[in-house]
Amino acid sequence: MPARIDPELRRQQVIEAAFRLVVAEGIEGASLRKVADESGLNIGSVRHYFDGHHDLLNAAAEEAGARMGDRVAAHSAEGLRGLEGEAALDALQALVEAVMPVDEPRRNEAIVVVELIMASRTMPVFRAMSERMANDLAVVLRNALDALGLPDADLAAAQLNAVIGGLTLDTVTPHGGLSVERLRAILRAHLRMLLANARHG
């Protein structure tokens, strides 16, 4: 008697295949046919789990977001409260780097998220996902900066969010061609400035 295939495991297999293809070829390269081939399934099986191409791409972006969220959860805002000096700087940088392309897994996640965010500009089907990810990150940053005592955590979080977006784009695309070392140096300089404002605010 053939072994029963766990549907959730099979669905995850398809998402992982889509994830790899978006990293390698962009969203245009992650067609249902290619995803089926990459996952070792037929296209009918892929359609069984997803309504279509857009549904599958949203799932790939959700997977990237979930991985980032798992890492962020290891850096609670309360864990930052009371920290000062280099300890505060190190802890804040570790939190921010949870969502930045500083190693291969995080780089791949960032590529998937950037691809879908860019697509959301002209494809409304991706807009809700893009807005939700932005809002989730804004809340994490605001809570962290509030815990560190910044006088205007909302404004500081908006600034930091913009820095994260710019550095991510310039690291995963030829636009800026940033190395991980340069990314980290620029990020640290910005975080140091934010925390200096907290001390003098």
Work out the average pLDDT over 164-180: 93
Q: Which two tokens stand for residue 44?
A: 């009918």
Q: pLDDT tens-digit profile of 4-17?
A: 668 888 899 999 99
pLDDT single digits (tens) 57-108 = 999 999 999 999 999 999 989 999 999 999 999 999 999 999 999 999 999 9
What is the tens place of the pLDDT at every residue in 18-27?
A: 999 999 999 9
Confidence of residue 175 (pLDDT cuts 50, 70, 90): confident
**How confident is the model at residue 144, as a pLDDT?**
96
> What pLDDT is stored for residue 1 in this prediction?
40
Average pLDDT taken over every residue of the chain: 91
Give me the DSSP letters along 106-149.
Answer: HHHHHHHHHHHHHHTTT-GGGHHHHHHHHHHHHHHHHHHHHHTT
Residue 199 — pLDDT band, cuts 50, 70, 90?
low
pLDDT at 201 over 70: no
Task: Categorize the per-residue pLDDT at 200 as very low, low, confident or very high, splitting at 50, 70 and 90.
Answer: low
In the block, residue with structure tokens 């972006």: 61
d(CA 104, CA 125): 28
pLDDT at res. 7: 83
Residue that wins the pLDDT comparison between 197 and 122: 122
Contact (CB, 8 A) for 140 and 158: no
What's the fold here for domain 7-200? Answer: Tetracycline Repressor; domain 2 (1.10.357)
Q: Residue 48, SS3? A: helix
The residues spanned by each domain of the chain are 7-200
